[in-house]
Structure 1
């Protein structure tokens, strides 16, 4: 049997390569039989797949082989050309659309019962009065507790077509009888602007987590509100923003760049260049802007930072960005799946490409963070590697470099304490979220009654909670992490309170707590106060 497997594996790989070549040739092009049969190479591969389907001695799932092959082919092109299977495509599309249709709750499955973490802001459940801690027991008469059904199945029962109704029976702590909610399913915003508030009397802050279809509209609303509050300067936080739609980034850059100045240009396979210029009168062309970036700011985030830096607008603060200067287009494959295929490179106004090299393969490419960490670049700007042959000059004479990310105008080192990295991991991975949820559940009536203003003064992360969290992470079987809790109690308290604020009041409150004592925020405030 083992010998047969050894023979069969190379066969599958060969079939996969063949199938992939066929699919690669068909992507986003005319797939008529005439075109396909006109190419003898493609015809040969097509016949091979047919022979395997109909004549091969064993059953072979050529559909799964094709999926594997598409991934393998794309991996050999560049790190950012990717395959999106049909079972993931809807979720990916929803995320980038900026909304989805449903009732709008996040939940945990606690003791085989759906317990609401939070009714999502702007969604149907929030509008109708569903709260954190509510147990959803029935949906249209169907029991949702003690059934053993998966979270995906539960989600499917709560989702549905827009404007359709679902009747929910909800148990709320402190009430004897169940509540009935008739919820009309509707669009639930997936906000890309996490926070917008004033850092000082003059300095407004906007945090953008990605560039979706609604990002520019969200940004416009936020910046208008901040101007009403007196903002004369803006801190645009693009840290950990992986990118998204290029058009949204261009629109945001245009808000700060006056005149008909170049924002970026792209160059495709044939060498055709497409230039994009500032077109409109922006909200903040006469204001001071600070763009916050770090090693995880990529793609569209780098478009904004690069456009402003190359036009001598504002100040880029933080650490060298990721280094992704490739443009992808999403192309459907006809079966519900799609590929994001790199179709061009983009260049900043001075003509620099900020795409980091990927000639050593994808593994080396995606491990670039560790290389930067080890060479000391994250803690000392003198360790940032630059290529003098990729030196460019802005209109006002500032030197900038291509070849791998945007180097900030003002460098702020990363706090490289490994213990803090562990705490960041616990926050981002959801372990803190579940622990905080359990705390809120102990006295849900009280926590749900606390106003945002009282929360600041009244709610304290106690020593008992810290001890409980230490025990919690020790008992988590899947979590193999050793954390010196005593060394970082103040930081843990801050992060736990930030997570509590998120579950009670949303991302704006969460970000405000998270930004306390933040090095880059402190530097931006210092720079803003130097401006007369």
Structure 2
């Protein structure tokens, strides 16, 4: 298998680093303190002033300050980070769980803003915008033929809640252009991707991060699954880089019995705070399974650790990332902020799962490549554990600290060593764009089809399989897909169902071939 312009461990490491930046903090409120004066602080301030007033060339001192702040934080730990003011809005929106806009999933197709799908119940859907529509103008701002960056596009489409924007739409399926007024509204950014039944009595909930709305989304999903007959539950935390501690704790509280310890934190002054479950839990007795992988971090590990140490459920998958540091967000007064590590957290058995970062951030975030090369992602006996860091669960089982949550049931990466790149591609946005472009040419052919009919149409011949291979090659990605034909067709069919039907239809199809879900269903027998 050849891959042009792409290298799997680098891609995974980059994606993981971005995910951990978004999910690397826990909601300890910032304390208001005065700035402490001192000779070193005065020295830095004077240096910036000298450069600003006297340096021979014009210099953007704001950028120098940003570099200085980043350099200082890099000397501390990999999770103490600086967030520039131009990044704060996006980060805050992601963790808040909503934004004000028109509510469409889109991407730049050729030179136009193409609507992949309007968000169900959102402003655009209410206004009659459909999948495949092109947005030509937002009020009088031309959006096509300009290769506008995403942040510029977002600024044209977002606005104040209740404000109107007039969109000029081209609908290819009807070959017509028209204008429509869309009233901007609050659009949710969901942290619970799916809530479906994996079998007749097992519910499945996928959580992508822990944001302000996560617990409410989870509780609603859980209650819905229980009404469908779920007496057992799978919580999928794969690739969940973390987020708010409080939300992970609330979910753990729903799953644990009154008085069971959820998490401990200890700060610089050795102050220990313990959080216990209450009697309010709504799923304290049914069988429980938590799915994790090497990208499950922070709050995901808090939840998985609480379930494992209390012997409440079974942890399935691969060793988690290993982040046991707690951050507090502190505003710097100019719209930027710093997330500073202020404590460590410990699972109920007393273990810290923070990996060593003594060799610097680059090596720390490149952990995936080390696990890839060591074979740990394919064999449980390749996981290195520290015998000196043994701890016991509530029932006396041995668990280990020092580097992530080790699952009770190990599930290797899919396929043979080297095949994982195909799975990653099939779970990426590349598939979404390919399917959109196929539908753009023949949307009418799929109109009114059920999920099963869509599957039959995509799987029964090689038309879309061959077209996808050509699409990858055109974009500089060359794979030998023939040995993965069944998997590729399955993912393609699921993506067609997602764009034509719903997110629920996508997950119902994907879970049938998901190795970790299969491992859970096999474990239950």
**TM-score, length basis structure 1:** 0.88
Q: Secondary structure at the match of 1:443?
A: helix
Residue of structure 2 in register with 1:4 after alignment: none
SS in 1 for 2:76: coil
Q: Report if the CA contact (8 A) 1:28-1:333 is conserved.
A: no
Q: Describe the SS at the equivalent of 2:437.
A: helix
Aligned residue for 1:192?
A: 191
SS at match of 1:234: strand
Other structure's SS at 1:290 match: strand
Go from structure 1 to structure 2 and tell me whether the alpha carbon gap of 1:275 and 1:59 turns closer, same or farther (over 3 Å shift).
Answer: same
Asked whether the equivalents of residues 355 and 405 of structure 1 are also in contact (C-alpha less than 8 Å), the reply is yes
More deviation, 40-49/316-325: 40-49
Q: Distance in 2 between matches of 1:389 and 1:232?
A: 39
* Distance in structure 2 (CA, Å) of the matches to 1:256 and 1:221: 14
Q: Is the 2:265–2:274 Cα contact (8 Å) retained in structure 1?
A: yes
Deviation, 1:110, is: 2.8
Q: Indicate the SS of the match to 1:225.
A: helix
| CA-CA distance at 1:147 after TM superposition | 4.5
Larger radius of gyration: 1
Partner in structure 1 of residue 493 of structure 2: 497
Distance of 2:58 and 2:419 partners within structure 1? 52
Tell me what 2:464 maps to: 465
- 2:363 counterpart SS class: helix
Determine the C-alpha separation between the residues in 2 that align with 1:45 and 1:114: 46
**Given that residues 322 and 405 in structure 2 are in contact (C-alpha distance below 8 angstroms), is that contact kept between their aligned partners in structure 1?**
yes
- What's the counterpart of residue 260 of structure 2? 261
**Alignment pair present for 1:295 and 2:291:** no
1:48-447 matched pairs, under 5 angstroms: 48-415=47-414, 417=416, 420-447=419-446
Q: Give CA deviations for 1:107-154 in whole Å, capped at 9, x if unaligned.
A: 122342222111123421123332110122232244433355444323
Contact 1:461 1:497 in 2 (8 A): no
- Per the alignment, residue 521 of structure 2 pairs with 525
Per the TM alignment, residue 72 of structure 1 is displaced from its structure 2 partner at its CA by: 1.5
Cα drift, residue 430 of structure 1: 2.2
CA distance in 2, matches of 1:223, 1:385: 36
Aligned to 2:18: none
Q: Distance in 1 between the 2:171 and 2:245 partners?
A: 44
Q: Helix, strand or coil: the match of 2:275?
A: strand
Which sections of structure 1, spanning at least 5 residues, go unmatched? 1-26
Retained in 2: the 8 A contact 1:317–1:524?
yes
Alpha-carbon deviations, 1:295-318, whole Å to 9, x = none? 111111111110011111011111
Partners of 2:426 and 2:488 within 8 A in 1:
no
Deviation at 1:453?
5.9
SS in 2 for 1:516: helix
For 1:289 and 1:242, how far apart are their aligned partners in 2?
A: 21
What do residues 362-417 of structure 1 show as CA deviations (whole Å, max 9, x unaligned)? 12211222222222222221221111211111121111111111111112222353
Contact 1:105 1:116 in 2 (8 A): yes
The answer as to whether partners of 2:318 and 2:411 remain within 8 angstroms in 1 is yes
RMSD across aligned positions (CA): 2.0
Secondary structure of the structure 2 residue equivalent to 1:515? helix
Confirm or deny: 8 A CA contact 1:28 1:332 kept in the other structure.
Answer: no
CA distance in 1 between counterparts of 2:172 and 2:50 reads 63
Query: How far 1:483 sits from its partner (Å)?
Result: 1.1
Map of 1:450 onto structure 2: 449
Q: Secondary structure at the match of 2:216?
A: helix
Is 1:514 matched with 2:510? yes
Query: Structure 2 length as normaliser, TM-score?
Result: 0.90
Instruction: State the 1:201 CA deviation.
Output: 1.1
